[in-house]
Each structure stands twice: as structure tokens, then as C-alpha cells.
Amino acid sequence: MSDLLKTSPVIPVVAIENPDNAVELCLALNRGGINAIEVTLRTSKAIAAIKEIKKHCPKMILGVGTILTPDDVLASEDAGADFLVSPGLSPDLKVALQKTKLLALPGTASPTEALTAYEAGFHMVKLFPAEAVGGVKLLKSIQAPIPKVMFMPTGGVRTSNMRSYLDLPNVYAVGGTWIATMNDIENRDWASVEQKATEAVQIASSPKASV
């Protein structure tokens, strides 16, 4: 597993409309014990927000999500991304992710897609949308036949089920939007973000159950 995310079992997935909120968001996450973030390219100001984080929060491990095209890869590299996350792996995107020097986590939703990503050189992938495609049961069932692929489940992950994912031997982290929602960010409710981050870190730090 890449050392980049070795100490980041919980990765907030965020959409930032106003770049002015980016730094305070990261500071709230840091206070809650979280040192990694995935900023999605779902808003027109995402790249500007990413640049703000890179400039003012250099210790934050900065991921860029919703990578859909080779141009997204280039823009994210230029903005200072540390890692890239995509919802899937199209032929053109596969080539672009293979070329980047950044850690790339392509999205998969089935054993076939996981094997396709593995054959392309990606040993760490995203499972998306995790709950909709089988979640914990799916990951348990494919761990033995596909032991060298590690997953980051995202989509439907929350405090009530994140521990069950992290207990699995083929899961290196979980991602989710619940820690810092768009409403939290737009309303600048940093106390709520910090509280949810703290709770998530406490759950992630609890003893691993046998599975």
C-alpha cells in the first residue's frame, strides 16, 4: 500500500463552491484529527479551492476526485494534487492515470473492473458506489480470489458502517461526504465538521474486529 495514505483511514469527500472556505475547512478537519481530503471537481471553483489548500495547508494530503478526463488529470497536477480519484476507468483516462506520477485511485464497482485496474497497474482502487454494489459483503467475497487489490469504499459510507469496512483486510481507507457536507461548508459550520471528524477518527482508531 502506498505510504501516502498510510495514516489516513478516513478521507472526507467534499465539494467546495467558495474557495474562501477551503482553508478553514481544512483547519477544522485537522482539529478533528483528519489529515487528508478529497476535493471533487464538481464545482466551477474546485481548482481554485485546491490551490488555496495547497498554498495555506501544505501538510494536508490533498486528493482531487471526480477525475473524468485526461484534462482533469493535468489540471489537478498543476493545482498541486497529491493523489487522484476517479469514479471509473475509461480507456483514455486509464492511459492518463498510468502516465501521472501521482498516486491514482481508479473507481471500480465489480470484480472484473478491479481486475482490469490491477492489470493496468493499479493495486489501490476505489469501490464506488460502495453500498449500492454490495458493500462489505462484496469486499468479503472477493478478498480471497483478488487478494492483491486494496479498496477505498466510497458511496453510502457513514459513521454507522465505516468500522465494518475498515475491519476488512482489503480496505485501506474509507471515503465519504458526511463529515463535511456542502451545507456545512456553505454555512461555515466548522464546529460540526470538527465534531464529525473527531467522531470518525475515534471510530477508525477503535480496535479492529475479527472478520
Residues involved in catalysis: 38, 126
Residues contacting residue 141 through CB under 8 Å, at least 6 positions apart:
134
Q: How far apart are CA 105 and CA 103, in angstroms?
A: 7
Q: How far apart are CA 98 and CA 120, in angstroms?
A: 8
Q: How far apart are CA 147 and CA 185, in angstroms?
A: 38
Can you tell me whether residue 86 is helix, strand or coil? coil
Query: From start to end of the chain, where are the E strands?
Result: 10-14, 36-40, 61-65, 83-85, 103-105, 107-108, 124-127, 150-153, 174-176
**Strands of the sheet with 107-108, listed across from one edge:** 107-108, 124-127, 150-153
